[in-house]
Amino acid sequence: MFLNDDFMLTTPMAKTLFHNHASKMPIIDYHCHLDPQEIYENKPFVNLTEAWLSGDHYKWRLMRANGVPESHITGNASDYDKFLAWSRTLPKTIGNPLYSWTHLELRRFFGIDELLNEESAPRIWEEVNRKLATEPFKRRNIIKNTNVKIIGTTDDPVDSKLSPTLG
């Protein structure tokens, strides 16, 4: 297994501090990529591509750097094909925080300990999408169930709802 309960905790003190204290603390998320309107509406995610890739410029940048065509990043390719493009990109990113974060999210949110790659992508796509279709995985429920107390979104700076002069 790539990740375990002590991932990145290399000393006994780190393990004690994390497991006995930090893991129980509320989360202050100052950089969320979710749309505030969709959080308010508690909109369910259509699929894993919407949850992970829609609006995530960090993943887009890695995909571009690995030669993924724009059609499979922000273009008109299907959501499944975009997810497959991410699954082919991810193994090339070992050492980048997105590699660890992707697998931490798979494990913590969805209970999946499998590495994401082109071979595992179809199984992961099906399992995660099944879970995303349930009530606990609607946007506000994910926030509540992960003990997020404060959230700051990365709103689109040209969104007319944010600035009446842009509308």
What CATH number corresponds to the domain at position 132?
Answer: 1.10.2020.10
- For residue 33, the model assigns a pLDDT of 75
In a domain, 144, yes or no: yes
69/73 Cα distance (integer angstroms): 7
Per-residue DSSP letter, 34: S
Task: Quote the number of domains for the chain.
Answer: 1
pTM of the model: 0.84
In a domain, 99, yes or no: yes
What b/e sequence results for 74-87 when a residue is b if at least 16 CB atoms lie within 10 Å of its CB, and e otherwise? eeebebeebbbbbb
In a domain, 162, yes or no: no
- For residue 119, the model assigns a pLDDT of 98
In a domain, 2, yes or no: no
In a domain, 113, yes or no: yes
Domain range enclosing 52 = 43-153
In a domain, 48, yes or no: yes
In this prediction, the residues of the chain whose per-residue pLDDT falls under 50 are 166-167
Encode pLDDT of 14-61 as tens digits. 999 999 999 999 988 887 777 888 888 999 999 999 999 988 889 999
88/116 Cα distance (integer angstroms): 9
116/114 Cα distance (integer angstroms): 6
- For residue 118, the model assigns a pLDDT of 96
In a domain, 141, yes or no: yes
In a domain, 9, yes or no: no
106/113 Cα distance (integer angstroms): 7
- For residue 70, the model assigns a pLDDT of 97
- For residue 32, the model assigns a pLDDT of 77
